[in-house]
């Protein structure tokens, strides 16, 4: 199996021993993205809506670096520090993923890095040419 690291300055750099994404051929595994501004390295100010927007833009930058987009995502895993934010998170999330949306799991967690409110990771698959 071939593993290729995907990196972009359009999303925050890894803050630990991991890659922004790994391309294994047909499948790209994207690490979780939180609402860090890639230019400043700071968590964006604001509520769950603002943080979801930033996290999903970061994810989009990683997908783009792999030559993919939101339509290529087949599975996401989402982490919320407050499950009470579920509806507001969904309202933003729905604007990023075309029909049919990817399969998804969403969990409430005790905390996220840098005090973030949301984290989203994804698995995307390269389209096959027929």
Model confidence pLDDT, tens digit, residues 73-121: 999 999 999 999 999 999 999 999 999 999 999 999 999 999 999 999 9
The pLDDT value recorded for residue 130 is 57
Which pTM was predicted? 0.96
The pLDDT value recorded for residue 128 is 83
Is 63 part of any domain? yes
Distance, in Å, from the CA atom of 124 to the CA atom of 61, rounded to the nearest integer, reads 13
Is 130 part of any domain? no
CATH number, domain containing residue 56: 3.30.1330.40
Is 67 part of any domain? yes
Judge whether 33 and 86 are in contact, CB under 8 Å: no
Alpha helices in 1-130 (DSSP H): 48-65, 86-96
Domain hosting 37: range is 4-125
Distance, in Å, from the CA atom of 64 to the CA atom of 6, rounded to the nearest integer, reads 10
Is 18 part of any domain? yes
Find how far residue 52's CA is from the centre of its chain. Answer: 9
Tens of pLDDT, residues 30-82: 999 999 999 999 999 999 999 999 999 999 999 999 999 999 999 999 999 99
Query: Quick check: 129 pLDDT over 90?
Result: no
Number of domains in the chain: 1
């Amino acid at each position: 199996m071939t593993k290729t690291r995907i990196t972009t300055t359009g999303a925050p750099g890894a803050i630990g021993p991991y890659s922004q994404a790994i391309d294994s051929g047909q499948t790209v595994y994207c690490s979780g993205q939180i609402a860090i501004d890639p230019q400043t390295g700071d968590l964006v100010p604001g509520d769950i809506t603002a943080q979801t927007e930033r996290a999903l833009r970061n994810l989009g930058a990683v997908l783009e670096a792999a030559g993919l987009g939101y339509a290529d995502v087949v599975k996401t895993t989402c982490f919320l520090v407050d499950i009470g934010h579920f509806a507001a998170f969904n309202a933003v999330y729905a604007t990023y993923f075309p029909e049919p949306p990817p399969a998804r799991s969403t969990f409430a967690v005790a905390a996220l890095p840098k005090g973030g409110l949301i984290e989203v990771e994804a698995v995307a698959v390269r389209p096959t040419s027929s």
